[in-house]
């Protein structure tokens, strides 16, 4: 594929805003789309605050910071993404919603464009199946927060071409990331291992094994994790964790992946983690 000059990002939440920032800071023009105008204003604020902090710490010159901000444009009109070379989807973790979007993107995007999904767990082959370009559909799973975390997990669907894989890998490396490659199974590599651990931490809390603080301190100091699993769940978003557990449970067909009732209850109560000010912990 020719050099990637423009990227479309769909979904301006935690992940989409970070991906847009990463692309803009690496010299690529970005159209960021979200259906919610408030999400777009939050994304713009997040990006300008992040760029300002890089400038004030001396990691980026004032001119490079201003250029990065100019390269990012927000839109509530999906059609503005029509000239993008790559479109990265980072909307809600729900297969039916993502499929509807992929079918729309297939009609809007130029014929050569790659359609990538930042999904944490949903089958890339199934998302590709609603398009007429399954060979150009791929998983590009960034870690949270995208500008800081060093890894991108690339997931090839059943029909993803070698060319799509090489272009996506080259893009991830242009972002300065290390790439790992997963086959298209529920949760891929990282969430296949991480989410059952987080779910087990919820079970430990639910069954009264210990307090939330002791569960987190145990895993932080006992296994050298930078963050305890319950703190990490709040950081990821409890709704995202629950969606992933449901996909692991349905896709792997084993009761050991059943979401913990306490996780379900928190999500039902709107305790979605840091982004809502309350999850396992209260941040208000
Ligand atoms: P989020 O809730 O912060 O943001 C999702 C955004 O998508 C919202 O702003 C919402 O308005 C927008 N949206 C929903 N439907 C849309 C549509 N049809 N068109 C346009 N915009 C739409 O969620 P997030 O944490 O950024 O997660 C997004 C994706 O990234 C999910 O697939 C998730 O599994 C994946 N992911 C999340 C993390 C994490 O730690 N949170 C890490 C890696 C990958």
Q: What is the DSSP string of 51-72?
A: HHHHHHTTSS-HHHHHHHHHHE
The span from the CA of 246 to the CA of 16, in Å, is 22
CA 69 vs CA 21, 190, 193: distances in Å: 8, 31, 36
DSSP state of 281: S
Q: Name the phi and psi angles at 171, rounded to 5.
A: -65, -45
Does residue 93 line the site of ligand 1, with CB under 6 A?
yes
Greatest alpha-carbon span in the chain: 56
Q: What is the residue with the minimal CA distance to atom 39 of ligand 1? A: 236
Please report the pLDDT score of residue 59 as a whole number.
86
Q: What is the DSSP letter of 96?
A: H
161 close to ligand 1 (CB < 6 Angstrom): no
Out of 1-10, 84-93, 164-173, 243-252, least confident range: 1-10
How far is residue 167 CA from its own chain's centroid?
19
Ligand 1 centroid vs 89 CA: distance in angstroms?
8
What is the CA(130)–ligand 1 centre distance, in A? 20
> In the β-sheet with 72-75, what is the strand arrangement from edge to edge?
72-75, 29-33, 6-10, 86-89, 114-117, 137-142, 151-156, 178-182
pLDDT tens digits for range 201-259: 999 999 999 999 999 999 999 999 999 999 999 999 999 999 999 999 999 999 999 99
Task: Assess whether pLDDT exceeds 80 at residue 108.
Answer: yes
- Burial string for 115-141 (b: 16+ CB within 10 Å, else e) reads bbbbbbbbbbbebbbbbebbbbbbbbb
Per the structure block, which two tokens stand in for 108?
């809007």
pLDDT, one tens digit per residue, over 165-195 is 999 999 999 999 999 999 999 999 999 999 9
Cα of 255 to ligand 1 centre, how many Å? 27
Whole-number CA gyration radius for the chain: 19
CA dihedral 251, 257, 260, 266 (to 10 degrees): -40
- CA 71 remoteness from chain centre: 21
Q: Is 205 in the pocket of ligand 1 (CB under 6 A)?
A: no
44, 80, 92: which to mutate for ligand 1, most atoms within 8 A of CB? 92
Rounded distance from Cα 61 to ligand 1 centre (Å): 30
From residue 159, give the alpha-carbon distance in Å to each of 87, 126, 132.
18, 10, 11
pLDDT confidence of residue 1? 66
pTM exceeds cut of 0.90: yes
239 pocket-lining for ligand 1 (C-beta < 6 Å): no
- State both tokens at 239: 């709704």
Q: Are the CB atoms for 118 and 88 separated by under 8 Å?
A: yes
CA 83 centroid distance within chain: 23
Which of the pair, 1 or 94, is modelled with greater confidence? 94
Strands (E), the chain: 6-10, 29-33, 72-75, 86-89, 114-117, 137-142, 151-156, 178-182
CB of 10 closer than 6 angstroms to any ligand 1 atom: yes
Report how far ligand 1's centroid is from the alpha carbon of 241 (Å): 12
Active-site amino acid positions = 120, 141, 153, 191
Is residue 16 lining ligand 1, measured as CB closer than 6 Å? Answer: yes
Asked whether 97 lines ligand 1 (CB < 6 A), one says yes
The closest alpha carbon to 274, from 242, 233, 227, 216, belongs to: 233
ipTM of the complex: 0.99
């Amino acid at each position: 594929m020719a050099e990637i000059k423009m990227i479309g990002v769909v979904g301006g939440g935690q992940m989409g805003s970070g991906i847009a920032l990463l692309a803009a800071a690496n010299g690529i023009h970005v159209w960021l789309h979200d259906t919610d105008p408030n999400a777009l204003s939050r994304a713009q604020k997040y990006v300008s605050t992040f760029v300002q902090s890089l400038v004030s710490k001396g990691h980026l010159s004032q001119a490079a910071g201003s250029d990065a901000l100019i390269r990012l444009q927000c839109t509530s009109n999906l059609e503005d993404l029509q000239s993008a070379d790559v479109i990265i989807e980072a909307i809600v973790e729900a297969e039916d919603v993502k499929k509807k979007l992929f079918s729309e993107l297939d009609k809007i995007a130029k014929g050569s464009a790659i359609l990538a999904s930042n999904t944490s767990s949903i089958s890339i082959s199934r998302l590709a199946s609603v398009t007429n370009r399954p060979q150009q559909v791929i998983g590009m799973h960034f870690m949270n927060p995208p500008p800081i975390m060093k890894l991108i997990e690339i997931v090839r669907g059943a029909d993803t071409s070698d060319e799509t894989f090489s272009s996506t890998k080259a893009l991830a490396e242009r972002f300065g990331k290390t790439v790992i490659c997963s086959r298209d199974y529920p949760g891929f590599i990282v969430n296949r291992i991480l989410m059952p651990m987080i779910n087990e931490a919820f079970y430990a809390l639910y069954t009264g094994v210990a307090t939330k603080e002791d569960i987190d301190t145990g895993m932080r100091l006992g296994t050298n994790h930078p963050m305890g699993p319950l703190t990490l769940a709040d950081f990821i978003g409890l709704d995202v964790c629950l969606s992933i557990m449901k996909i692991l449970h349905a896709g792997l067909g084993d009761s050991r992946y059943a979401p913990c009732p306490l996780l379900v209850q928190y999500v039902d109560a709107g305790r979605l983690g840091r982004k809502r000010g309350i999850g396992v912990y209260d941040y208000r």
